[in-house]
Amino acid sequence: MPSSAEFRLFGPAHLGALAVVALVCTLVAAGGARMSAPARRRLGQVLASALGLYTVYSYWLVWRAGNLTAEFALPLHLCNLLVLLAIGVLLRPGRAGSELLYYWGVGGSAQALITPDLQVGFPSEEFVRFFSGHGLLVVAVVHLVGGLGLEPRPEGMWRAFTWFLVWVWVVGLMDAAFGWNYGYLCQKPQGSSVLDHLGPWPWYLAGGTTLALGIFWLLSLPWRILRTRSTSP
C-alpha cells in the first residue's frame, strides 16, 4: 500500500470521499422507494451491523494503542453517541429517534465530513475509517427518512436543540472536572474545522451553539415548507 499523504482539505481524495458518500446516499434513497417493507427492514439491519462492526473495530484500535481509558474511550463525542443511536433506531425504527438522528446526524456528520479532523489522507486506515463511519451515519438518516418515511416533524428542531444543549453542558462539565476534551469543548481539534473561524475558547462554544441552531433551522425548513403546502387550500 502506498504511503499516505498529508490530508488536504477539499483535495482530490477529500472530494472523492464526499462523492462516494453522496452516491451511496442517492442509491439508498432511490432504492428505498422501490423496496418492499421486509427489504427495507433488512437494509436497516445491514446498516446497523455495519455501524456495529465499525464501532467494534474502532474500540479495538483504541485498545491496541493503549488508549482504552476514560479520557479517550467513553462514547461522549457527538458522533460516537450518534453511532449508538443510529444502531438502535435502525433496529427499532421510531420517529423520535429518527428525528434526533436527522438533526444531529446530518448537522454533525455532514460538518465532520466537510471539515474532517484528519492529519493524513488516502489511503490511510484513519482516512478510510473516518469517512466510512461518518458516511454511514448520513446513509442511515437517508434510509430512515427516505426509505422508511420517518420524516422529522418541523418543531422537532427545538427538541433536538434542547438535547444538544444538555449534551454540551453535561459533557462540558465532565471535561472540566476530569481534564478531558470530549466534543472539543475545552480545546479545538488539531485539524482544520469550522471552529477555527469562531474565535478562541470559550467564545467558539457560543459561536458553535449558535451555528448549530442555525443548521437545525435550515434542516427544518424543507419540512416546514412541505407542511405549509400540504395544508394550504
Domain map (residue ranges) of the chain: 12-231
pLDDT at 194 over 90: no
Q: How many CA within 13 A on the CB side of residue 124?
A: 14
Q: Which three cell numbers stand for residue 168?
A: 454540551
- pLDDT tens, 106-163? 887 887 888 887 888 888 888 999 999 999 999 999 999 888 888 888 778 899 999 9
Model pLDDT, residue 140: 93
pLDDT-wise least confident of 60-64, 79-83, 92-96, 196-200: 196-200
Average pLDDT for residues 214-231, to the nearest whole number? 82
98 vs 118: which has the higher pLDDT: 98
Question: Is residue 192 pLDDT above 80, yes or no?
Answer: no
Q: State mean pLDDT over 176-191.
A: 87
**Among the listed residues 150, 155, 130, the one whose alpha carbon sits nearest the alpha carbon of residue 140:** 150
Residue appearing with cell numbers 434510509: 143
Closest of 28, 20, 227, 18 to residue 144, by C-alpha: 28
Pairwise CA distance, residues 31 & 72, whole Å: 38
* Average pLDDT of the residues in 65-89: 90
CA 200 to chain CA centroid, Å, is 24
Query: What is the band of 180 on the pLDDT scale with cuts at 50, 70, 90?
Result: very high
Count of H helices and E strands in the chain? 9, 0
Q: Is the pLDDT of residue 45 over 90?
A: yes
Pick the range with the lowest mean pLDDT from 27-41, 53-67, 189-203, 215-229: 189-203
Mean pLDDT over all residues of the chain? 87
Q: Residue 1 — very low, low, confident or very high, per pLDDT cuts 50/70/90?
A: very low
Range picked from 40-44, 71-75, 165-169, 186-190 for highest mean pLDDT: 165-169
Question: What local confidence, expressed as pLDDT, does residue 189 receive?
Answer: 77
Q: Among residues of the chain, what percentage have pLDDT more than 70?
A: 95
4 pLDDT higher than 70: no
- Give dist(CA 57, CA 52) in Å, integer: 9
